[in-house]
Amino acid sequence: MLCDVQPVLKEFLHLARLELSRRQADVVNHQQRDLGFGASIEVGRRAMVRAMAPTRGRVQLHGGSLERESTAASMPVMRNDVGG
Protein backbone atom coordinates (compact mmCIF):
# COMPACT_ATOMS: atom_id res chain seq x y z
CA MET A 1 0.00 0.00 0.00
CA LEU A 2 2.86 2.37 0.66
CA CYS A 3 4.17 1.84 -2.85
CA ASP A 4 0.93 3.15 -4.36
CA VAL A 5 0.79 6.26 -2.16
CA GLN A 6 4.30 7.50 -2.84
CA PRO A 7 3.94 8.15 -6.60
CA VAL A 8 0.63 9.94 -6.05
CA LEU A 9 2.20 12.15 -3.39
CA LYS A 10 5.15 12.96 -5.67
CA GLU A 11 2.80 13.89 -8.49
CA PHE A 12 0.79 16.10 -6.14
CA LEU A 13 3.93 17.91 -5.01
CA HIS A 14 4.99 18.52 -8.61
CA LEU A 15 1.58 20.02 -9.42
CA ALA A 16 1.72 22.20 -6.31
CA ARG A 17 5.16 23.48 -7.29
CA LEU A 18 3.91 24.38 -10.78
CA GLU A 19 0.90 26.18 -9.32
CA LEU A 20 3.06 28.21 -6.94
CA SER A 21 5.51 29.19 -9.65
CA ARG A 22 2.66 30.29 -11.93
CA ARG A 23 1.15 32.45 -9.17
CA GLN A 24 4.52 34.01 -8.46
CA ALA A 25 4.89 34.91 -12.13
CA ASP A 26 1.43 36.52 -12.10
CA VAL A 27 2.37 38.66 -9.10
CA VAL A 28 5.44 39.96 -10.91
CA ASN A 29 3.40 40.76 -14.02
CA HIS A 30 0.81 42.64 -11.97
CA GLN A 31 3.50 44.75 -10.32
CA GLN A 32 4.97 45.67 -13.67
CA ARG A 33 1.59 46.60 -15.10
CA ASP A 34 0.79 49.03 -12.26
CA LEU A 35 3.88 51.17 -12.81
CA GLY A 36 2.71 53.03 -15.91
CA PHE A 37 4.13 56.51 -16.40
CA GLY A 38 2.38 57.39 -19.64
CA ALA A 39 -0.70 59.49 -20.22
CA SER A 40 -3.89 58.21 -18.69
CA ILE A 41 -7.29 58.40 -20.34
CA GLU A 42 -10.23 59.75 -18.38
CA VAL A 43 -13.76 58.88 -19.41
CA GLY A 44 -16.82 60.69 -18.15
CA ARG A 45 -18.17 64.12 -17.31
CA ARG A 46 -15.33 65.07 -14.98
CA ALA A 47 -12.79 64.58 -17.76
CA MET A 48 -14.39 67.41 -19.76
CA VAL A 49 -14.52 69.70 -16.73
CA ARG A 50 -10.83 69.14 -16.04
CA ALA A 51 -9.97 69.68 -19.69
CA MET A 52 -11.68 73.08 -19.69
CA ALA A 53 -10.28 74.22 -16.32
CA PRO A 54 -7.07 75.88 -17.64
CA THR A 55 -9.04 78.06 -20.06
CA ARG A 56 -11.07 79.67 -17.29
CA GLY A 57 -8.22 81.53 -15.67
CA ARG A 58 -4.82 82.88 -16.43
CA VAL A 59 -1.83 80.58 -16.85
CA GLN A 60 1.49 81.70 -15.37
CA LEU A 61 4.51 79.67 -16.34
CA HIS A 62 6.99 81.04 -13.79
CA GLY A 63 5.14 80.73 -10.46
CA GLY A 64 3.28 83.44 -8.62
CA SER A 65 -0.40 83.64 -7.91
CA LEU A 66 -2.84 81.94 -10.25
CA GLU A 67 -5.71 84.25 -9.28
CA ARG A 68 -7.28 86.31 -12.03
CA GLU A 69 -6.20 89.96 -12.00
CA SER A 70 -8.32 92.78 -13.33
CA THR A 71 -7.16 94.26 -16.62
CA ALA A 72 -6.93 97.79 -15.15
CA ALA A 73 -4.55 96.66 -12.41
CA SER A 74 -2.34 94.69 -14.76
CA MET A 75 -1.92 97.44 -17.40
CA PRO A 76 1.09 99.77 -16.98
CA VAL A 77 0.44 103.39 -16.12
CA MET A 78 1.43 105.75 -18.95
CA ARG A 79 2.34 109.28 -17.85
CA ASN A 80 3.07 112.18 -20.09
CA ASP A 81 5.17 114.34 -17.81
CA VAL A 82 7.24 116.42 -20.20
CA GLY A 83 8.63 119.01 -17.90
CA GLY A 84 7.21 119.20 -14.59
% residues pLDDT > 70 (the chain): 0
Judge whether 66 and 60 are in contact, CB under 8 Å.
yes
pLDDT in tens, 10-19: 665 565 565 5
Residues 6 or more apart in contact with residue 59 via CB below 8 angstroms: 66
DSSP 8-state class, residue 75: S
Contact at 8 Å (CB) between 67 and 60? Answer: no
pLDDT interval class at 25 (50, 70, 90): low
Query: Which residues neighbour 68 within 8 Å (Cβ) at sequence distance 6 or greater?
Result: 57, 58
